[in-house]
Structure 1
Amino acid sequence: MAVSDLVLGCMYFGTKTDERTSMALLDRFVEAGGTTLDTADCYAFWASETGAGGQSEALLGEWLRRNPGVRDEVVLATKVGPEPVVPGDPSRVVGLAPDVVRRSIVASRERLGVDVVDLYWAHLEDRSVPLEDVVATFGELVADGQVARLGISNHPTWRVERANALAAAAGTEPFTALQLTTSYVRPRPDTEVPGKDHRFGFVTDETVDHVTENPGLDLWIYSPLVQGSYDRADRPFPEPYDHPGTTRRLAVLHEVAGELGARPGQVVLAWLLGGRPAMRPIVGVSSPEQLDEALAAAALELDPDQRARLDAAR
């Protein structure tokens, strides 16, 4: 495992996290060996006075302008889909219609100040658009040089497989990255988790099997630390996580953390990074201290016994 396996989540850069702090975090991440930055064109409309997104992309663009040469050192990932049609009203979003995607990538590239986005995500499902059209449109972005690689987020496994079958049949670019959420502890099945409103946003056993059998598909994990619930008493796990499996897993997690002299959240990141399949956690931080903890987690080594104990707890 290495720092370059971590992804720096930039969701609140330019809104909740001010410009000075955001720039410092970006500098620190790259200096430590980090390479991958994850954002979206809708970030963070809910934290913006305008009710529209784009602030995170704009801040990243300004950081790149202030640091000539750093563009070659980083991988820029951004997304399209959930931006509200009416600013501030998330009940209706722009979705994945071909004209929306074509227009959105141009706007994202302008805010980022780049010719090419390294990884472009279909951020959510849009079943109002035929999947064939989604595949064709995203493939066009690669063919015309605006995007280097494609990702798909918050989609069920069968739709990911179908999309890539369509891409293969059409001879166009497939989706080679999948972004979902999971963590060491998981909520009860068939429960609604506050703040997680994507029906197919969670990793399942089927997801793990699919990624394992398709090694060309990378798995990225958002919210891997459940908003700090492992390490902060003021941020308890949401109610759907309250079940015996969580109790048993947390007990083993704290044992291993004590053995390593690490925080539980750091062990969770190490567990994700070193698993089979490996999962790339997206770490959202708002201070240098939080970033340093995440960076240290990338160097944390779980021995076979520790990993086996963590895996076996149910």
Structure 2
Amino acid sequence: MKYRVIGSSPETRREVSVLSLGTMTFGTIVDEATSFAILDRFAEAGGTFIDTSNNYAFWVNGTQGGESEELVGRWLKSRGVGDEFTIATKLGARPNQPTTGFSLDVEGLSAKVIRESSERSRERLGIEKIHLLYAHIMDENTPLEETVQGFADVVADGVAGLLGASNHWSWRIERARTLAAAAGVPGYEVLQHHHSYLRQRTDIPSLRSPDGNQGLVSGDLLSYLRANPELTQVSYSPLISGAYVRDDKPLGPGFEHAGTEPRLKAVREVAAETGATVNQVVLSWLMGGDIPVLPLVGASSVAQLEENLGAVELELTPEQRAKLDSVN
């Protein structure tokens, strides 16, 4: 395994594995025995960065979420491990009522929610401190000043360490960080958005925004990251739910543009040259770019995890990387 330091403060920064394990479906779609086996193999391979959320996975059984956090907590307790792992969770998108579908009626990012939801997450996880706490989605109904102070308060209380923002426009991230700096309190240091080698259209309205999908890494966000190298980008769904290699997993309308086929061709050619899988090439491309990204990978079996782990040692040559990067 390889490692990277995230965070800039000596008090909160963490050394994490360059591959993060997503546990969204653990405890629901993926049963406990399989989930534990995947977590055990990840730990055995040197993985230390585990990601969950307080709303995972409400849509499976019609709940408000919490199943994933609870399972991760049981695993941590049963294995007798703790602070050597960096546990990241999120709040803000937990539905206020049990549901099996998308809902705009979610908890949001008020100071009260941040305080109460972070405490409940900590209890479910069974840990003294949430090492990395994200604002899962934007809350445009709560003043940003309140959200910034709410997160700063849970850091001051020892509930959370590093702070992050997921699925946010870059201008809102910058505004929140500016407010935090002006107030002399901790701000967002880790970002989490969807990012892969294939480029997804950003002009298609999302369920939460008529202006496009704020959850995607775009040119604007890449420029922001390049100008602020102290920030860390974690990228979820880097393998697009298996769509690179599975015919039963269509890419969807977001990838219906002229750039998709040439990029698929390029990544397949590089995979053939290296003897690696397409998925491994995608993960290696993300980890080794000029803006290094920490891929957040899910797995429903140990075999899937093994493939992902193989990407850590895959070193693309400058020529191979140039080939991938040169495709528009």
Percent of aligned positions with the same letter in both sequences? Answer: 47
Cα deviation, 1:87-119, whole Å, max 9, x if unaligned, reads 116231111111111110110011001110000
Match of 1:143 in 2: 156
2:110 paired residue among 97, 119, 129: 97
Matched, 1:14 2:27: yes
Instruction: Give the CA deviation at 1:195.
Output: 11
Q: Distance in 1 between matches of 2:204 and 2:279?
A: 23
Note closer, same or farther for the CA distance 1:194–1:103 as it changes in structure 2 (3 Å cut): closer
Instruction: Give the CA deviation at 1:174.
Output: 1.2
Instruction: Give the CA deviation at 1:242.
Output: 2.4
1:79 paired residue among 87, 90, 112: 90
**1:1-314 correspondence to structure 2 within 5 Å:** 2=2, 4-48=17-61, 50-68=62-80, 70-88=81-99, 90-192=103-205, 199-314=213-328
* Structure 1 letter corresponding to 2:130: V
**Aligned-residue RMSD, C-alpha:** 1.7
TM-score, normalised to structure 1's length?
0.96
Q: Distance in 2 between matches of 1:176 and 1:161?
A: 11
TM-score, normalised to structure 2's length?
0.92
* Residue ranges of structure 2 left out of the alignment (5+ in a row): 4-16
- Of stretches 82-91 and 146-155 in structure 1, the one that deviates more from structure 2 is 82-91
User: Helix, strand or coil for the counterpart of 2:311?
Assistant: helix
Cα deviation, 1:280-299, whole Å, max 9, x if unaligned, reads 11001000110000000111
Cα deviation, 1:124-154, whole Å, max 9, x if unaligned, reads 0001111011000101111111111100111
User: Helix, strand or coil for the counterpart of 1:73?
Assistant: coil
Q: Distance in 2 between matches of 1:185 and 1:119?
A: 28
Cα deviation, 1:137-187, whole Å, max 9, x if unaligned, reads 101111111111100111111111111111111000011001111211112
Instruction: Give the CA deviation at 1:245.
Output: 0.8
Which has the larger share of helix? 1
Note closer, same or farther for the CA distance 1:12–1:55 as it changes in structure 2 (3 Å cut): same
* Residue ranges of structure 1 left out of the alignment (5+ in a row): none
Q: Which portions of structure 1, spanning 4 or more consecutive aligned residues, are displaced by more than 2 angstroms?
A: 191-199
Q: Distance in 1 between matches of 2:208 and 2:317?
A: 34
Instruction: Give the CA deviation at 1:231.
Output: 1.2
Cα deviation, 1:211-268, whole Å, max 9, x if unaligned, reads 1111111001011111100111221211331222111111111110000111111100
